[in-house]
Structure 1
Amino acid sequence: MHPASYIAFGRALRKLRKDDLSLYSRLDRSFISGLENGEKAPSLLTITALARALQIF
């Protein structure tokens, strides 16, 4: 993924509330918090779920 894509991904991620992102991605809210804080490492499946929820896939 290109660095500009990371920036766009982060901006879109911040726009959505964690509850909404959790609902659309079907990921637990605490897991999303862990991703945001760098405590968790996302799998390819997780990245895909987040990208679809953010409508950037």
Structure 2
Amino acid sequence: MGPEGMAAGALDEKLGAASPKLSFHLSHLEQAGLIASRRDGRSIAISYRSRRFPG
């Protein structure tokens, strides 16, 4: 996943995690400020917050 993000569905497929379980963990990561999500058409794009992950 690059700074532009990845669709949550693609992340789900790549990790092989169940959607509800993935949503639960992504929401906690977003609350902690480690990732950001944005609506991209019908999908939700997930990206990491670069200020938390330098380099």
Which protein is bigger by CA-based radius of gyration?
A: 2
Larger helix fraction of residues: 1
Determine which structure has greater relative contact order: mean sequence separation of CA pairs < 8 Å that are 6+ residues apart, divided by chain length.
2
Larger strand fraction of residues: 2
Q: Tell me the TM-score normalised to structure 1 length.
A: 0.38
Q: Tell me the TM-score normalised to structure 2 length.
A: 0.39
